[in-house]
Amino acid sequence: DYDLCEEWGHLYPVPREDLINLHREHLLHLLEMGDTEKALQLLQRIEDPGICLAISEQSLDQHLNLAASHFLADYLTAHFFTNLTTARRNEIQALYMGSKASKISVLLTLPELSRVNYFHLSSRPLLMLEQLLMNMKVDWVAVAVHVLHQLLAGQEVGFTVDDIDSLLSKYAEKALNFPFALKEKRS
């Protein structure tokens, strides 16, 4: 049905908003099905860069699964980097990094049932690290930190390696802080 609607849009004038809605729903459907190749082909077929940008951004804001968010963040960064505001650029790059870190750490360490617990933090990698630390998932943190260190090399995303190190130091200090004094044994 999407293909038929797209053909109709080429033959007859369709309002811009309806065209955006059609392509957005088609893109979301393809990403939900996991077909990123057809999703990329759809985005490449759209001639108007403004419509393509609107579709990509609106789709990204739908809080899709990790792979779809990663795909859209990568696409927006690669094709519309200069068209985005600095704040939106940082948000999308953080989402990309977070989804990449999440994706890799999920594949290497997170049990499949735990993925849903951390997905909502994929656009905020520092908060995800903090949540993992508070949940005592130190092994998962180690993998995520390693990935983030590699990804942050030469990137401007609103946080730095020093921010990660500061967060880790804060929680390491808390782990060594004993809130009570040891009592002496009396004879």
Task: Read off φ and ψ for residue 84, nearest 5 degrees.
Answer: -95, 150
Same domain, 156 and 167: yes
Q: Is residue 182 part of a domain?
A: no
Same domain, 169 and 124: yes
Q: Is residue 87 part of a domain?
A: yes
| pLDDT class of 69 with cuts at 50, 70, 90 | confident
| pLDDT class of 99 with cuts at 50, 70, 90 | low
The 10 Å Cβ neighbour count of residue 176 is: 7
Mean pLDDT, rounded, of the chain: 79
- The pLDDT assigned to 25 comes to 93
Give me the mean pLDDT over the 105-123 stretch.
60
Same domain, 21 and 68: yes
Q: Is pLDDT at 110 greater than 60 in this prediction?
A: no
Which amino acid belongs to residue 12?
Y
- The pLDDT assigned to 158 comes to 64
Rounded to the nearest 5 percent, the helix, strand and coil shares of the chain are: 75, 0, 25
Same domain, 84 and 118: no
- The pLDDT assigned to 185 comes to 67
Q: What does the angle CA 105 – CA 159 – CA 84 come to, to the nearest 5 degrees? A: 100
| pLDDT class of 101 with cuts at 50, 70, 90 | low
Single out the residue in 53, 78, 99 at which a domain terminates.
99
Q: Is residue 183 part of a domain?
A: no
Same domain, 142 and 81: no
Same domain, 112 and 84: no
Single out the residue in 60, 78, 99 at which a domain terminates.
99
How far is 56 from 69, CA to CA, in rounded Å?
Answer: 10
Same domain, 94 and 125: no
Q: Is residue 52 part of a domain?
A: yes
Q: Are the C-beta atoms of residues 65 and 82 closer than 8 Å to each other?
A: no
Q: Is pLDDT at 106 greater than 50 in this prediction?
A: no
Residue 72 neighbours by CB under 8 Å, 6+ apart: 31, 56, 59, 60, 64
Q: Is pLDDT at 103 greater than 60 in this prediction?
A: no
- The pLDDT assigned to 34 comes to 84
| pLDDT class of 111 with cuts at 50, 70, 90 | low
117 half-sphere exposure, CB direction, 13 A CA radius = 11
Total residues belonging to the chain: 187
Same domain, 154 and 79: no
How many domains are there within the chain?
A: 2
Lowest mean pLDDT among 33-37, 74-78, 131-135, 149-153: 149-153
Q: Give me the domain span that covers residue 163.
A: 101-176
Give me the mean pLDDT over the 18-40 stretch.
90
Same domain, 94 and 115: no
Same domain, 134 and 63: no
Give me the mean pLDDT over the 110-126 stretch.
68
Same domain, 3 and 64: yes
Rg (CA), the chain: 22
Single out the residue in 99, 121, 145 at which a domain terminates.
99
